[in-house]
Structure 1
């Protein structure tokens, strides 16, 4: 976009113009290549996205909105950011409700940000400390939810038979007219009290938000259908290990995980090939992957494999202690 063109556009129109190509290419597999594999959005709309993969996508969104809404709470009294804080947009509680429905009461134990999600959240926390950064990330997510997100909600209800919970994230009960609301939001963007360089930074941050969102979708898309265990099962077993067998989890991370100096640990997930843990070593949390002895596909196979890994870890640690 030329400088003359940009200056002729309202600020909200400038943001839309600058981000249009990012918006069009959000689903990483949704390009023009006829040989491509269907992406996450494709599978949602054609009905082939499993409820398990839908749940994993939903779970990653929780971390993003948790970060955005925490930033909004900090900026509630800011004269620039304040006009963009709308209680009716908040999504964190609806995501928690959906995840409780999809994964059970222990949902939080089975939810861990993907590397791409962690990078996205880190970027939100860094940039949304300033009003322009917050507005950029809030605009990108919330106006997207009120636009294309409504089609996602409709597809989820159709595919999985949800009635309320499960897709309540897409319900904006306190916004009777999304179009009128979006018009008001854009009017506030046009009137935002920011100098030119801060507006430039806001536009650049919107583009980064799209890029981070695309990276999360790409990572999710690369793993569609690969985990034979339902998120509800993962959450229940992780909760059991972390609350009832915390000492055993630490032994596994010290032994099989190769972190003998770990002073705390938690199980963060597992799939058919292995289990994931996070160990606290000093002031750092270290991600650990421990492979199963063979591929697993049934819940009943998980416990014996964890017992084996724990036993081998304890024996190895006891042997090292004896040798010392």
Structure 2
């Protein structure tokens, strides 16, 4: 959940406090993500809307949760780099770390093979790439992305956790991402966080850049939500089924997966490959070609809706791929 502007409203015009400047600059972005901001807007219900009205399926909730994993993994990798930095270090709080909680939630939602069943959407990858790029050596980059996510989680994000527990019957597992057990008072914590923003040792040009980066973080988050919104309810397979089959293909049939990518996947030069997911229309793979991983989409012969239908289709893809590659060798 991007930052906490909804709870505070726009800052007073002309204020010199850095935290207030951030809130004022990001107010319109926050309103754009808030499902209650414009009730008359003509748009299809998105992830937030469906979570709050109770119509979001647990499968789509899981897919949303999975995309957040990649974002927080990137932010928390940057936190390790900046832990001792005199500028960014004061914003590295171990009690904010979300990756262990997301991992626990995904294990609960998808089973022990959960990692094989998640892959960043293109919009998520762009978001992660931006976090990696801007926080590689600039303290302000880490501050911008950490602020946008964590203070949002402590504010409006708490309503997400309540909705998930109410809709899906979760107690701890499944929504532990929203539980900050080591923060006794979110209000006091956020006040301290904003005080550190106001005292941060950054030149004015860098403060402006931080604000711009926060706005970009909102835009990236919005792009991920839009991408998820376009596929809500469209995948007939449970995430745990996808994880189990992908894990099986990538561990027990890695050579077959490579053949599929080289054959019907059209990447004859693929060096390694893995299955990354599937839906009712086709399967997704990632293959390393000339040292670079490239995505591959292969359509099923006909739409699928049952787990039992997946194996015969994978066998068909392998058989056709092996045949085409053999013919190519013969020529």
Report the TM-score when normalising by structure 2: 0.94
| Alignment correspondent of 1:10 | 17
Query: Aligned-pair distance for 1:30?
Result: 6.4
Of the three residues 20, 27, 40, the one matched with 1:20 is 27
| Alignment correspondent of 1:49 | 56
Q: 2: distance between equivalents of 1:110 and 1:31?
A: 35
User: Is the 1:58–1:99 contact (alpha carbons within 8 Å) kept by the matching residues of 2?
Assistant: yes
| Alignment correspondent of 2:161 | 153
Q: 1: distance between equivalents of 2:220 and 2:42?
A: 25
User: Is the 2:91–2:193 contact (alpha carbons within 8 Å) kept by the matching residues of 1?
Assistant: yes
| Alignment correspondent of 1:89 | 96
Q: 2: distance between equivalents of 1:113 and 1:123?
A: 14
Q: 2: distance between equivalents of 1:27 and 1:54?
A: 17
Query: Aligned-pair distance for 1:9?
Result: 3.0
User: Is the 1:275–1:292 contact (alpha carbons within 8 Å) kept by the matching residues of 2?
Assistant: yes
Gap change, CA 1:280 and 1:294, over 3 Å in 2: same
Of the three residues 80, 95, 100, the one matched with 2:87 is 80
Q: 2: distance between equivalents of 1:255 and 1:31?
A: 49
Q: For structure 1, list consecutive stretches of 5 or more residues without a partner in the other structure.
A: none
Q: 2: distance between equivalents of 1:139 and 1:114?
A: 23
Of the three residues 280, 287, 312, the one matched with 1:279 is 287
Query: Aligned-pair distance for 1:128?
Result: 1.3
User: Is the 1:40–1:221 contact (alpha carbons within 8 Å) kept by the matching residues of 2?
Assistant: yes
Of the three residues 125, 128, 135, the one matched with 2:132 is 125
Of the three residues 306, 316, 321, the one matched with 1:298 is 306
Q: For structure 2, list consecutive stretches of 5 or more residues without a partner in the other structure.
A: 1-11
Superposed counterparts of 1:85-234, under 5 Å = 85-129=92-136, 130-234=138-242
RMSD: 1.3
Report the TM-score when normalising by structure 1: 0.96
Aligned residues: 319
Moved over 3 A (4+): 27-35
